[in-house]
Structure 1
Amino acid sequence: MIRIETLSKTFTLHNQGSAVIPVMANAEFSVAPGECVALTGESGAGKSTLMRMIYGNYLAASGRILIGGTDIVTATPREILALRRHTLGYVSQFLRVVPRVPTREVVAEPLLATGTPPEKARAQVEDLLARLNIPERLWSLSPTTFSGGEQQRVNIARGFAYPYPALLLDEPTASLDAQNRETVLRLVEEAKARGVAIVGIFHDEAARDRLCDRQIDVTRFTPGRAA
């Protein structure tokens, strides 16, 4: 479902004489349906950079990123948007939403964008919000006013609302208490059971050991650094 082939990335420092800094070279791995793969490595090794390339936020210098047959590296913006709508979900560490949009609508947006009837979307959203312990009195309020933990759970609800075949998870259990952490772990396990291919960054070692079938140390793809 996800395949990375000879992937490389550089950054150009335009304010420093256009110096070119190689940050990743010849990254190679694949993720099968129903498999969860953890990206590991010390801080600065390139975990987040690789995740952003897979999602299409960063453009690779060379190589291929195949998501269900679409190459993110050569895809048009329209193709990437379609992929994000139907195929590739992303649960980031931070919730970024338009202010004053109610929580129900924030979480329902991926469902409504793919044609789910509003009443069905509403029911699915409310089930998820209740499961993630977001109080019902908050569902009609903007999540921009919520605590950090509540915002993270809204972000997780949004990411799991639509049944994406592939999913990127960036620290999904960070800042969560034991009860909500367990709920998120079960959501990930259920996604794996449905056949979702998952790439994640997990600093929570116990969560990583429980969820992940393999670990990829991205240090081995970092020029000048030994794994």
Structure 2
Amino acid sequence: MIEISDLSKSFTLHNQGGTVIPVMRGANLSVVAGECVALVGASGAGKSTLMRMIWGNYLAQSGRILVGGVDVATAEPREILQLRRHTLGYVSQFLRVVPRVPTVEVVAEPLLNVGTPREAALDHARGLLGRLNIPQRLWGLSPTTFSGGEQQRVNIARGFAHDYPALLLDEPTASLDVKNREVVLALIEEAKARGAAIVGIFHDEAARNRVCDRVVDVTAFTPQAA
């Protein structure tokens, strides 16, 4: 489902005389359906860079990033948008939404985008919000007014609303209490059971050991290690 081959990336610092900083070279990674792979490595090793290249926010210098048969490295913007709508989900650490949109609609949006009937999408969103212990009195309010922990849980609900065949998870259990951490781990296990291919950054070692099938140290992809 996710196939990365000979992937390279560098950044050009235009405000520092055009200095080029290579951050990744010759990266290879394969993630099959129903598998969860954890990215590990020291801060700055390239974990987030690799995730953002898979998502299509960072452009690769060379190599391929196949997700469901689409090469993100060379795809047109419209193709990436379609991929994100139907195939590739992303749970980041931060919630970015249009202000004033009610929380239940924020969570239901991925389902509405793929044609799910509105009431069915809203019902599913309500179920996820309840499962993640977001008080019902908040469902009609914009999540931009919520606490950091509540926003994180809304983001998780939104990311798991549609059954994406592939998922990117950026520290999905960070800062969660024991009760909500357990809910998130269960959601990940359910996604694996239905066949989702998952790539994640898990600083929570216990969570990583529970849900991840393999660990990949991205330090092996840095130019210094090549």
Name the TM-score, length of structure 1 as normaliser: 0.98
Alignment of 1:89-128 (within 5 A): 89-128=89-128
Q: Does 1:210 align with 2:210?
A: yes
Query: Aligned partners of 2:3, 2:197: CA distance in 1, in Å?
Result: 11
Query: Aligned partners of 2:166, 2:225: CA distance in 1, in Å?
Result: 30
**2:181 alignment partner AA:** R
Deviation at 1:225, TM superposition (A): 4.0
Query: Aligned partners of 1:134, 1:124: CA distance in 2, in Å?
Result: 14
Query: Aligned partners of 2:123, 2:224: CA distance in 1, in Å?
Result: 51
Q: What residue in structure 2 maps to residue 151 of structure 1?
A: 151
Alignment of 1:1-227 (within 5 A): 1-225=1-225
Query: 1:83 is paired with a residue of what secondary structure?
Result: helix
Superimposed CA distance per residue, residues 192-215 of structure 1 (whole angstroms, 9 cap, x where no aligned partner): 000000000000000000000000
Superimposed CA distance per residue, residues 40-98 of structure 1 (whole angstroms, 9 cap, x where no aligned partner): 00000000000000000000000000001100001000000000000000000000111
**2:214 alignment partner AA:** R
**2:69 alignment partner AA:** G
Give the fraction of aligned pairs with identical amino acids, expressed as a percent. 77
Query: Aligned partners of 1:211, 1:205: CA distance in 2, in Å?
Result: 10
CA RMSD of aligned residues (A): 0.7
Query: 1:168 is paired with a residue of what secondary structure?
Result: strand
Query: 2:215 is paired with a residue of what secondary structure?
Result: strand
Query: 2:116 is paired with a residue of what secondary structure?
Result: coil
Query: 2:134 is paired with a residue of what secondary structure?
Result: coil
Query: 1:65 is paired with a residue of what secondary structure?
Result: strand
Query: Aligned partners of 2:219, 2:83: CA distance in 1, in Å?
Result: 28
**2:41 alignment partner AA:** G
Query: Aligned partners of 1:173, 1:146: CA distance in 2, in Å?
Result: 18
Query: Aligned partners of 1:122, 1:106: CA distance in 2, in Å?
Result: 10
Query: Aligned partners of 1:184, 1:16: CA distance in 2, in Å?
Result: 42
**2:51 alignment partner AA:** M
Deviation at 1:16, TM superposition (A): 1.2
Q: Tell me how many residue pairs correspond in the alignment.
A: 226
Superimposed CA distance per residue, residues 120-144 of structure 1 (whole angstroms, 9 cap, x where no aligned partner): 0011000000000000000000001
Query: Aligned partners of 2:101, 2:121: CA distance in 1, in Å?
Result: 16
Query: Aligned partners of 2:104, 2:45: CA distance in 1, in Å?
Result: 37
Query: Aligned partners of 1:84, 1:59: CA distance in 2, in Å?
Result: 16
